[in-house]
Amino acid sequence: MDPIVEISHLTHRYDTRTALDDYSLSIRPGEIFGFLGPNGSGKTTLFRILSTLIPVAPGHVKMLGSDVAIDRDFVRQQIGVVFQSPSLDKQLTAEENLTHQGHLYGLRGEDLRKRVVDALGALGLADRAAERVERFSGGMRRRVEVAKGLLHQPRVLLMDEPSTGLDPAARIDMWRHLRQINQQGVTILVTTHLMEEAERCTRLAVMARGKLLAEDTPTALKERIGGDVITITSAASVELSVRLREQLGIESQLIDNTLRIERPRGHELVPQLIEAAPGLVDSVSVGKPTLEDVFVQLTGQRIADMDMPTRPM
């Protein structure tokens, strides 16, 4: 099966800062593909390139076999885009918002009316079509945004931080609708910094500082760690780290005064840890690897600790 998206040696810079560094990746049709990384990782820049908002150079990006830099108009007809920032007119109804969107694509008459009905129905909004968007909850507004993106029946839907501003219940509801859309043949690409959201993707690209660090299914990424993750809190974490190295030959990662150890059958190691450093261990937890653990293993930092308050990257 030919890739629906092909990215080859893509680099993008803002002045002297590199947002994407020799980035290469391919995405298959029918996937829910996630770009996971903190603010400043390059995922929003990549989103803007894929949605044809900023130029491709140097490198190459193909969407459905067409070069994004050369066949921009064709690519725009094939993709739906949902931005992180709201784009709805709150004084219009859901139906009116979609009708206006349809006019931008040259849609008119009965074809447009049917598409509006179908798009709102697919997102569970058929009974609210005639209500002003200002009366909608954040989750409902987000669904109207998705309906707008689907109106021209794209083959690929791009979403920048799809759960922005949504409470946990609304996130679950949003992803239920996204899975239904995906099952109807739409490939979905999302950027996210949320581990819960990344778990819902069929495949992930883990990003940091403009680089692709790893790419696989969420399950396969977690299996790379192997065994358990032991987390130890201590008021004397540096001393504890030295003690574990000298007495047990165990190397640990020190992150924010917390020690992290990867080890098969981690529960069997806990008594040895406590005996080796009496009085230094405040608490110990043992758990199966999470995507947060994967990110820590790849970068040495938690994703929240790497957020950069800079221009979009």
The pTM score is: 0.86
Closest CA to 94 of 124, 137, 118, 125: 125
Please name each of the domains of the chain with its CATH number. 5-217 (3.40.50.300), 226-288 (3.30.70.790)
Given a cut of 90, whether residue 98 has pLDDT beyond it is: yes
- The burial class, CB within 10 Å (0-12 / 13-18 / 19+), for 104 is exposed
- At position 239, the amino acid (one-letter code) is E
Closest CA to 67 of 53, 56, 80: 56
Average pLDDT (295-305) is 89
- At position 220, the amino acid (one-letter code) is A
Which residue reads 């954040």 in tokens? 138
Closest CA to 49 of 13, 95, 102: 13
Given a cut of 50, whether residue 311 has pLDDT beyond it is: no
Cβ pair 232, 249 in contact under 8 A: no
Q: Tokens for 67, please give them.
A: 């070069």
The pLDDT of residue 227 is: 85
Q: Taking every pair of C-alpha atoms in the chain, what is the biggest distance, in angstroms?
A: 78
Confidence of residue 307 (pLDDT cuts 50, 70, 90): low
Given a cut of 70, whether residue 273 has pLDDT beyond it is: yes
